[in-house]
Amino acid sequence: AQKVTQAQTEISVVEKEDVTLDCVYETRDTTYYLFWYKQPPSGELVFLIRRNSFDEQNEISGRYSWNFQKSTSSFNFTITASQVVDSAVYFCALSLNTDKLIFGTGTRLQVFP
């Protein structure tokens, strides 16, 4: 069975702090995709990144970076120098091939000024 675990229910930081959101996944498939989505208070889902199981390179996009480690089945997301606009719920998700997404329970990030 497939599963995504986001152990951090809620994180609060002060602006300009760095914050890491953890994601641990479970699957026996060798081909899979991992995602991060942001859901701001307005409710829409904003795509952040997709990573396939054969690409373990870490990625950096501006203040965002992702650390994919197959050895620990983790796909962690770090926001550097957090801003108030980063306040949202962040979901990690797993997909096998091109099928449905299995979402983690989400981490609510609150960034205070």
Interacting residues with other proteins (CB under 8 A) = 35, 43-45, 47, 50, 91, 93, 95, 97-106
Q: Which is nearer to other proteins, 28 or 44 (CB)?
A: 44
Which of 48, 63, 60, 61 has the alpha carbon at shortest distance from 15? 63
Q: Which is nearer to other proteins, 54 or 113 (CB)?
A: 54
Instruction: Extract the tokens encoding 98.
Output: 């091109």
- Least Å distance, CB 46 to other proteins, is 9
- Interatomic CA distance for residues 85 and 81, integer angstroms: 11
Q: Which is nearer to other proteins, 13 or 101 (CB)?
A: 101
Q: Are 58 and 66 in contact (CB under 8 A)?
A: yes
- Interatomic CA distance for residues 6 and 109, integer angstroms: 12
- Least Å distance, CB 93 to other proteins, is 8
- Least Å distance, CB 110 to other proteins, is 14
